[in-house]
A and B are shown apart, each in its own frame.
Chain A
C-alpha cells in the first residue's frame, strides 16, 4: 500500500504512543476501574465499599454501573458499619431523603451522630438543627440536608487504601477492558491522547496527499466548483497544446494587455508561461473538488462513529443544555447558528484559514499569518464567550 508507505513514520509513532499511553492508561484504569474496588469492597475494605456506594449513587456509565440508590445504600451501609465517617453520613442522608431505603429520621439521627463522632465535618451541624429526639416518631419540618451538596460525588479512588488489595491482582482482560471502555470509548479523551492523535493526523495528511490539512479550504473549493471545472478544462487544453504555441500565444496576450510594462521576471523566466497558467487557488491545487465533499461527509461519519461507539449517539433538535442556556432551542437558536456559520465561512476565508489550516498546519510551521490568525480567532472566541457568560 502506497498510503501506508507514505505515512509509516506517523503510524509507527502512533503505535508507540498507544503502547506507552495505553500502559499508562491501564495503570490509571486499574485505579479507576470498578473491578479492583469491587474485589477490595467484597473483601471488606471500607473505603472501597464507600466508593462502590458513590458509583451506584451517581451511576458510572463508562464502567457499566447504572444509577441504583438501593445498591448505593447497601454499599454505604457496609462501609458505615465499619465506622467510615463519610459512609455513615451518606447512610444518614439516605434515611432522611428516603433514597434507596424508606424514610427513617430516628435512624438518620443515629447515623448522623456516629458520623459526627467519627469526625465528619458537616454531620454535627446538621444534627444540631435536627428535631429533638422523641420516643414517638417525630415529624420533621424540613429535610435538613439539601440533596446534592456534598452527596453523590464519586471520589476518584486514586491512591486509596483499596489499591493495595487490587494491586496484587493482575487481570489482563479487565485491564484491556478498562483501556478500551474508559480511555478509548469512554469519556472524552485525555489531552495527551487527543493531542497526539490530532498532531499525527495533521502530519500524515500532508504526507499522504501532499497538501496541508485545512478544512475551510474544503468549503471554499466546494463553493468554487465551477471555477475548478474550468481550470481543469484549461489544464487539459494546456497539456495537449505544444509548449511553443502556447508560450507565444500567451506572450501575445500579455503584450496586448500590458503593453511594454511587462515585468522583466516574466519575460526572463523560462517557466513563466507555466507559472502564469497554473490555477491560482488555495493550498490544494490538484485535488478535484468532489474529494473535498467526500472529506466533509467523512468528517461527519467519523463523528457519528465516535458517538455510536461510546454509546452517546443521540439525535436531537437542540445543541445541548449549555447552548440552550444562551440561545434556547427555537428560532433564535437557528438564527444564531446560521449567522454564526456565515461568520465562520466568511471569516475563515478572509483570514486564510481555520483551526486546522491556521491553528494546526500553520502554527506548527510557525507561519506568521497562522500565528496572527490563530491568536486573533482564539482571542476573539474567548472574549465573546466570556461576554456571553456575563450578559446572556
Chain B
C-alpha cells in the first residue's frame, strides 16, 4: 500500500468521506455551539435523536454487511472512563469533538483553530504520557 497509486486511492476515499461527513455534521447543526449546548442542557432533543438514529442505522448496517468480518474491538481499560470525562469536559466548553472542531472552522468560526491546535497538542502529549506511564492497551489493535 506504499505505492503511489495506493496512496492516491486513500486520499480520494478519505477526502470524499471527509467532505460527506463534514457536510452532514454541519447540516445537523453539530457545528453550532448553540445547538450543541442545547443538546447537553437537554433543552432540545433533536440532535440526541439524530445521534441515536445514526447508531441504530449503523448497528443494522454492521449487522447485515459486516457479519462474520473481524472489526476492531473496543475493550474497557482504565483510561476509558477517565478519558471520557476529560473529553466530555472539553466538548462542553468548546462545543467541539475532534471532527466538529474542523466543521466549526469550515462554517466560519475562526477561533475553532485554537480548539484544533489544542486537540493536536493533547493527542501528542497523551502519546508520550501513555508510553511513559500507562500500561493498558489503548484499544482496537486486536483486529
A, B co-complexed: yes
A338 to B118, CA, bound (A): 5
Q: CB distance B84 to A373 under 8 Å?
A: yes
- Tell yes or no: A322 within 8 A of B by CB: yes
- Tell yes or no: A144 within 8 A of B by CB: no
Q: CB distance A202 to B54 under 8 Å?
A: yes
Residues of A305-362 whose CB lies within 8 A of B: 305-307, 310, 312-323, 326-327, 329, 333-334, 336-362
Q: CB distance A352 to B140 under 8 Å?
A: yes
> Which of A63-71, A76-84, A86-94, A191-199 has 4 or more CB atoms under 8 Å from chain B?
A191-199
A160 to B29, CA, bound (A): 29
Q: Considering only CB atoms, which chain B residue lies closest to A375 in the complex? A: B84
Q: Give the size of the chain A interface in residues (CB under 8 angstroms).
A: 137
Residues of B107-124 whose CB lies within 8 A of A: 107-112, 114-124
CB neighbours (8 Å) of A296 from chain B are 18, 102
Residues of B58-96 whose CB lies within 8 A of A: 58-62, 64-66, 71-77, 79-96
Q: A283-B140, A384-B88 are in contact. Are A360 and B20 (CB under 8 A)?
A: no
Residues of A198-238 whose CB lies within 8 A of B: 198-209, 211-220, 222-224, 232, 235-236
Q: CB distance B124 to A302 under 8 Å?
A: no
CB neighbours (8 Å) of A337 from chain B are 94, 111-112, 114-115, 118
**Partner among B16, B34, B97 whose Cβ is within 8 Å of the Cβ of A321:** B34
Q: CB distance A298 to B83 under 8 Å?
A: no
- Tell yes or no: A292 within 8 A of B by CB: yes
CB neighbours (8 Å) of B29 from chain A are 188-189
Q: CB distance B108 to A316 under 8 Å?
A: yes
- Tell yes or no: A299 within 8 A of B by CB: yes
Give the size category of B's interface with A: 35 or more
Residue with the highest number of chain B CB atoms closer than 10 Å, among A283, A303, A370 = A303
CB neighbours (8 Å) of B51 from chain A are 195, 198, 359
Q: CB distance A341 to B75 under 8 Å?
A: no
- Taking the closest CB of chain B, its distance from the CB of A221, in whole angstroms, is 9
Q: CB distance A203 to B138 under 8 Å?
A: no
Provide 13 A-B residue pairs closer than 8 Å at the C-beta atoms, listed in order of the A residue: A204-B17, A215-B98, A283-B72, A301-B18, A342-B118, A342-B122, A347-B85, A348-B83, A351-B79, A352-B138, A370-B74, A376-B85, A388-B93
Residues of A1-30 whose CB lies within 8 A of B: 3, 9-10, 13
CB neighbours (8 Å) of A381 from chain B are 40, 88-89, 91-92
CB neighbours (8 Å) of A307 from chain B are 26, 106-108
Q: Considering only CB atoms, which chain B residue lies closest to A313 in the complex? A: B108
Q: Considering only CB atoms, which chain A residue lies closest to B34 in the complex? A: A322
CB neighbours (8 Å) of A389 from chain B are 41
Q: CB distance B121 to A316 under 8 Å?
A: no
CB neighbours (8 Å) of A350 from chain B are 79, 82-83, 86, 126, 130
**Partner among B106, B111, B141 whose Cβ is within 8 Å of the Cβ of A280:** B141
Q: A197-B24, A377-B84 are in contact. Are A317 and B33 (CB under 8 A)?
A: no
Q: CB distance A201 to B90 under 8 Å?
A: no
Q: A287-B10, A369-B75 are in contact. Are A347 and B61 (CB under 8 A)?
A: no
* B interface SS class: helix
A-B CB contacts (within 8 Å), total count = 504
- Taking the closest CB of chain B, its distance from the CB of A295, in whole angstroms, is 4
* Chain B residues in the interface with A (C-beta under 8 A): 1-2, 6-7, 10-29, 31-35, 37, 40-42, 46-47, 49-62, 64-66, 71-77, 79-112, 114-127, 129-130, 138-141, 143
Residue with the highest number of chain A CB atoms closer than 10 Å, among B31, B47, B56, B124 = B124
**Partner among B22, B93, B126 whose Cβ is within 8 Å of the Cβ of A336:** B93
A352 to B129, CA, bound (A): 14
A199 to B101, CA, bound (A): 20
CB neighbours (8 Å) of A201 from chain B are 17, 20-21, 24
Q: A341-B94, A344-B101 are in contact. Are A208 and B17 (CB under 8 A)?
A: yes
CB neighbours (8 Å) of A351 from chain B are 79-84, 86-87
A230 to B40, CA, bound (A): 42
A192 to B57, CA, bound (A): 10
Q: CB distance B111 to A344 under 8 Å?
A: no
**Partner among B18, B35, B76 whose Cβ is within 8 Å of the Cβ of A299:** B18
Residue with the highest number of chain B CB atoms closer than 10 Å, among A199, A215, A292 = A199
CB neighbours (8 Å) of A304 from chain B are 22, 106-108
Question: Other than the known A194-B28, A306-B107, A347-B122, what 11 A-B pairs have Cβ atoms closer than 8 Å?
Answer: A3-B12, A188-B27, A209-B13, A232-B2, A282-B140, A290-B11, A291-B11, A315-B108, A340-B91, A343-B118, A364-B58
